[in-house]
Structures are given as C-alpha cells and as structure tokens.
Amino acid sequence: MRICVVALGKIGLPLAVQFASKGHQVVGADVDERVVDRVNEGIEPFPGEHGLAERLRDAVASGRLRATVDTTAAVREAEAVVIVVPLFVDADGVPDFGWMDGATEAVAAGLRPGTLVSYETTLPVGTTRGRWAAMLEAGSGLAAGADFHLVFSPERVLTGRVFADLARYPKLVGGLDDASALAGVRFYEAVLDFDDRDDLPRPNGVWDLGSAEAAEMAKLAETTYRDVNIGLANQFARFADRHGLDVMKVIEACNSQPYSHLHRPGIAVGGHCIPIYPQMYLWNDPEATIVREARRANAAMPAYAAGVLAAAYGDLTGAGVLVLGAAYRGGVKETAFSGVFGLVESLRERGAVPFVSDPMYTGAELEAEGLPAHRGESVTAAVVQADHAEYRALSPADLPDVKVLLDGRRVTDPAAWRGRRHIVIGG
C-alpha cells in the first residue's frame, strides 16, 4: 500500500515508521525542511522516542520510507493519507485550526478517487464532518463518502512509548459513512499489530465506533476523564494538607476495591493532551461545569505548591529556589504546558529568586524556553516539578544548602532527607 503521513512530529514520524515496518511504501510530508532532511538521512529529528532511531534507520535504508515538503505531490501518489498536524487552543479554549486548514488544503489538491483520508489529530466533536469534509470536497472536486473515504481515528499514545502503545490500545475508527468506516478498519488492520488482552470487553484491534463524531468524542472523553480525576485528587490533597493527613494512603485504600480509580495528585498537569483536550470538550459543551472546575483546580496547582513551600520555609523574599525539572513529564524532553512556567511565576510573586535545572536540558536550552537556568547560584529551597528518574536518589549531598525540599511528584526518598525539611503535596 502507498501511504502518505502528513506532519512528521513526535506522533506522525513513529506512525510513518510503523507503517513502513509492515512492508508498505510510506512518504512523510512536513513543512519543516530540516525535519525532512533528517528523516531522509535516516536520523531522528528529535530524541527520546524509544526504538525510533533504529526503526527509522531501517525503514529509510530499505527504501520503504522517505520524506518530502510537497504534501500535495505525496498525496497524489497515495492510497491512504494520515494527518497528524497539531491543533492548538488559545487562552480562552478556542481552537486554532490554521495549521490543519493549510494541511487539509494541500491534501485536497492532491486527492484522487478511492483514497482514504484519516485524521488522527484530536478534534472537537463534529470537526471531521463539519469542517474537513467540506474543505476536502472543495479543494478536490470529489465527494466525501462517494469518491473518497474519510475517517477520524484518534492517536492514543504517549511520546516516549509510541510503538508499545500502538500495540497495547485498541485503534478507534469512526467513519463519515459505512464505506469509509470499513476502509478505515481495513487500513489500520494492515498497518498495526495488537497485543492480546483479556481485560477488554472485546478483542484488541481496530474498533469501529459507528461515526466520526463518536470517535472524536471518545478521545476527548478519555483525556477529559483524566483531567477531572486528577482535579479531584488534587482537591483531596489540599484537604489532606489542611488536616494533617497523607492523601496517598487514603487513595491507595480507596483504590483497593474495583470501583475507585483515583489518580495521583501533583504539582501540575502538563503536556499537549490533558491541559488542552478538556478545553476542546468545553468548546463543544460549555455547560460542562465539572470539566471546567477540574481544569481550574489543576491549573492552580503550581501557585498552590509555591504556597506550600512558603508555609514550610517562611518568607521567600530573596531566597534562591531551585526548580528541579522543566519537562512536563519525567523522561520526556518537552515543556508543553509544563507546570514549570506557573511555578516560576508564582515563586517570583512571593519574592523568591527561582532557578531551573533539568537533566535533559542544557542551560542555554532552558533560557531559550524563557526559564532562568541554574548555573551554580546559591539556593536554600528546592521543588521537584518533574518526575525524572534521576531525582529518585536525590539527597542533601546534591543540594547541601537546601533547608526545605518540596517534592511535587513524590519521587524522592523522605528517609534520605532526615535533618532537612522534606514535604509533599497532600502529605
């Protein structure tokens, strides 16, 4: 099969490599010439994705994968087109379709009869049918459902473990019509492998959800659930702080029976997914008060953490505070919507002098993100913001002048900090 993957980012490139590994001919299209050149050289353009370097090198060397900046030409030769272009929302939660509109227009210009088009970017409900179908028709002169197939099939993977997640989780597909859905199911069955799982209500594999709208809602629902769950856990943590309780003991007790699945509280909720997709859901459903309040609760956690530190340390005016971890998640070199930004701002508002370090970033890289890199300045307090594995063995020997450590992710060993103030959120 000849496949075009549009956008070779942290999801799109692993997808292209996966498709090529199944023996298909894949062309990846991207507007970034640097990315295209690196892919054609068989070199991963970004680090951190497990197994990508080797698989990419093999796919390019075998001739099954190449990259181009000409999306329209790549689509013209494809039997299936998979679009994984980023979609952003502004501060008010309004989607910005600019990049996806441009990609859709480029796809439409090369679209041929019989082609399958699959959108994998998370979308507000109704976007595939109400926006993309019309744009593809207008740009191609073809009729969606009659001349070409159109489906929505959300990516459900985490960066750093994309290949494992592709096999672990069912692939959801929703078509514009029955014929599109059938084409989508057959396509994904030909490009993916699935783990055997006995914990699912039906066999693992490609699941047809019956409509593009159902598939769009499924992705928003699963990520919004996580945000709401974490928001509840964070509110429990704040209550536990007021009453001298250890919230994790409470949560572990609750989760010992099958009807409670409380997530872990923490200093922040970051990344491209959990802070963003609930806002897309709210764009569809502005009366979803539970979703809105959970988002507010989670967005407030960096400021709350700064308050917890101040309560333990005392007046932070002039105090050097080291924020450990710029990344939004441990082991991932990505700062998208990371809690580090809100935490640094909140520490400054309390008069502290914050610095940031991260084992995955150089000082120059942190400063390029607008963060104050730590270059040996004196610090007397520290906050663990990201759960990097390197912090598990953190001790006073690493931070000899630190009087108070706030572990916002519960990754450090409290016993290692005897004689110093070691605190957690909800503890």
Per-residue pLDDT of the chain (427 residues; tens, 9 = 90+): 999 999 999 999 999 999 999 999 999 999 999 999 999 999 999 988 999 999 999 999 999 999 999 999 999 999 999 999 999 888 777 899 999 999 999 999 999 999 999 999 999 999 999 999 999 999 999 999 999 999 999 999 998 999 999 999 999 999 999 999 999 999 999 999 999 999 999 999 999 999 999 999 999 999 999 999 999 999 999 999 999 999 999 999 999 999 999 999 999 999 888 999 999 999 999 999 999 999 999 999 999 999 999 999 999 999 999 999 999 999 989 999 999 999 999 999 999 999 999 999 999 999 999 999 999 999 999 999 999 999 999 999 999 999 999 999 999 999 999 999 999 999 9
Q: For 219-231+242-427, which CATH class?
A: alpha beta
What residues does 81 pair with on adjacent strands?
Answer: 4, 117
Contact 6, 71 (CB under 8 A): yes
What residues does 29 pair with on adjacent strands?
Answer: 6, 68
Residue 333 is a catalytic residue: no
Between strands 149-152 and 116-119, the pairing is parallel
Q: Kindly list the domain boundaries of the chain, sorted by start residue.
A: 2-211, 219-231+242-427
Catalytic residue, candidates 219, 249, 333, 403 = 219
Catalytic residue, candidates 10, 22, 273, 403 = 273
Residue 4 is a catalytic residue: no
Q: 3-class SS at 80?
A: strand
Contact 293, 235 (CB under 8 A): no
pTM over 0.85: yes
Contact 163, 14 (CB under 8 A): yes
Same fold, 2-211 and 219-231+242-427: yes
- Homologous superfamily (CATH) of 2-211 is NAD(P)-binding Rossmann-like Domain (3.40.50.720)
Which tokens hold the place of 401?
């002048």
Contact 27, 77 (CB under 8 A): yes
